Copies of this chain bind each other. A is one copy, B any other.
């Protein structure tokens, strides 16, 4: 059991070389959004962009095309064949990490396409939200995930995936066991977000506050973790650092102009720069 600290995060972040180029910071892919939930794709994209993905492509259904290009001009759009939901896995060659699930919906087409993605992907996946719900219905897929994947359930999604727990102690044990069984990283969201690694290690995240209990917050986290992994962090490092920076952004915002009520998920992205700086400076806000 470890508690994440600013020093850890700072040590894991790859130093950017003077001679680096955008390709060197990784190309991240997000598969997100469905009719009525395209905002989730926007929020995940903003998280990935501000967490340092060198290149970012977002795969959205047709109803999300213009929305995404307006809201996040730095991202390229990959447009699905379907008007309303994810139905077709794009060419996966260029990507170093893939985040999937934010606002995806739970349609049959999306389920089939997720299954295909899991089969085809050579890169690690970050699975969130509806991708986890779809996985709950097809638990055999859990053992077919590409190596180095990360699951990011909140407690209800965790329960759907791995069954109920009597208390938080039992849930924590189950978290640890499942990460070992699957050989993947599992990030269990909560007041004390816990990240379990395949080797049995569990990290706790000390940052964050109740302002983050708001719609879209998880979407931004998925974007951040995917971007960190695209930059070369190990999956468990990406998950631990992502949770740390995500929470610290909210802490900084609430210490400045926002209240716990007024903080909106998209603001995590606005404060990420200061969170990176604070982590590098040892955790004290700049």
Show the binding face of A for B, using Cβ within 8 Å.
Answer: 13, 16-22, 24-25, 35-40, 42-43, 49-56, 63-67, 69-79, 154-155, 190-191, 209-211, 213-217, 227, 231, 257-266, 272-274, 276-277, 280
Copies of this chain assembled into the complex: 4
Cβ-defined partner of A277 (8 Å) among B50, B214, B259: B259
A63 and B53 CA atoms in complex are apart in Å by: 26
Q: Which of A18, A213, A259, A261 gathers the greatest number of chain B CB atoms within 10 Å?
A: A261
Judge whether A70 and B71 touch: CB under 8 Å: yes
A-B contacts, 23 of them at CB < 8 A, read: A16-B210, A17-B191, A25-B213, A25-B214, A35-B77, A36-B69, A36-B78, A37-B76, A38-B73, A52-B259, A52-B260, A52-B261, A53-B215, A64-B69, A66-B70, A74-B216, A74-B265, A75-B215, A231-B261, A259-B272, A259-B276, A259-B280, A261-B273
Q: Which residues of chain B are near A264, meaning CB under 8 Å?
A: 49-50, 74
Chain B residues positioned under 8 Å from A261 (CB to CB)? 13, 16, 50-52, 227, 231, 272-273, 276
Minimal Cβ-Cβ distance residue in B for A25 = B213
- A262 and B266 in contact, given A42-B73, A73-B71 (Cβ under 8 angstroms): no
Per a CB cutoff under 8 Å, which of B50, B75, B227, B274 touches A39?
A: B75
Report B-chain residues with C-beta under 8 Å of the C-beta of A77: 35-39
CB neighbours of A72 from chain B (8 A): 39
Known A21-B155, A210-B20: A262·B258 in contact at CB below 8 Å: no
Point out the residues of chain B lying under 8 angstroms from A266, CB to CB: 73-74
**Cα distance A191–B17 when bound, in Å?**
9
> Contact at B20–A54, with CB atoms within 8 Å?
no
Checking B51, B217, B273 against A258 with a beta-carbon cut-off of 8 angstroms, the contacting residue is B273
Cross-chain contact of A74 among B78, B79, B215 (Cβ < 8 A): B215
A215 pairs with B76, CB closer than 8 A: yes
Please, which residue of chain B has its CB at the minimum distance from the CB of A58? B36
Task: Considering the complex, give the chain B residue whose CB is closest to the CB of A227.
Answer: B261
Which residues of chain B are near A155, meaning CB under 8 Å? 21
